[in-house]
Amino acid sequence: MSTKSVLAAVFLISLGIIFGVVLVSSFKGVDFSFAGEDVKLGAQQAPIKSNSSLQALNEAFHEVSKTVTPSVVYVQVEMSGESESDSDSQNDPGQFFHRFFGPDFKFDMPKRGPEVGAGSGVIITANGYILTNNHVVANAKKNGIKVTLNDTRDFKAKLIGTDKYTDLAVIKIDAENLPVAMLGNSDDVEVGHIVFAIGAPLGLKSTMTQGIVSALGRNIGIIGDAYGIENFIQTDAAVNPGNSGGPLVNINGEVVGINSAIATTNARYQGYSFAIPLNLAKQVATDIIKYGKFRRGFLGVQIRQVDAVYAKAAGLDKTKGVAVESVTKDAAADKAGVEYGDISLRSMEKK
């Protein structure tokens, strides 16, 4: 090694020793005695003594979530061209009642498509049949429906059938031993009952909200067809875009409705949501699975309620019944001899 190299090495070592001495001396007087001590944050006991009734309610709500959520799915739909979403009332700020897609709904400008909508669904058989809304999947492209389970597994879904008159649809994934929702009796639902809405609002999968049934038998005119069936359960459980097709659940963890619409001025939750009664949904789903469509009777008449003026003109002693305003040719009523102007006086009251 050359003399220059030796001198350079000695210089660097000396500089390091001097720097170390200066560094150590700068920490003289610093107290490190806190090292290793426990850090205690917050109060050491709950400020409120546990209330057994509240604790039971807390656990009951949790049990509903734990039981039902695994059977609720996230549905994503790719569409092309014109779709029901183009005329969906959520896109018209002048409308008050809205059916809705999820936060992924979008379309590319300037051409129309592809469009992507999102909603929810509920598993009704262990081999993959899923109940959802017609307006979520009706205009899906071929192989354009994707389902995400609560356990994060993804599946392509087949559209089995839809019914626009009830806004219901059934899709199916190729899977077995799936968690199935318990289907309740919507006829047992009463105003004031506690209910839960479960779905994927605003893209937030596996979300549960709670409210009460605030009205029954609502007809809000959202289906937009003379043959549409509207008998909604109204609730104040928070429902938002993406909840469509998800279940409305009672305190026993039973599905009593399928969330379908909201009353709003901004396409977001403002306090009133609407669900299709589960008893109707079961009938529709059963027929779609068996026959590919919902089979319904068609009487073939249009009627109007008899008012006081009509009753007097017709010579009735009481204001009651319905009057036939038109009869469809060759329909069941026509073949049975029903004619324009006929009045039916049969009472529809429960015996």
By annotation, the residues acting in catalysis are 135, 167, 244
CA 163 to chain centre: 17
Q: Which two tokens stand for residue 279?
A: 């008893």
Residues paired with 232 in a beta bridge: 218
DSSP tally for the chain: helices H, then strands E: 7, 17
For residue 2, give every residue at least 6 positions away whose Cβ sits within 8 Å of its Cβ, in sequence order, or none: none
Cis peptide before 114 (omega within 30 of 0): yes
Question: What gap in Å lies between CA 107 and CA 113, rounded to an integer?
Answer: 6
How far apart CA 273 and CA 201 sit, in angstroms, is 13
Q: Which amino acid is at 235?
A: T
Separation between Cα atoms, residue 251 and residue 314, nearest integer Å: 51
| CA distance linking residue 108 with residue 263, whole number of Å | 28
In the numeric block, the tokens 């008012």 are attached to: 307
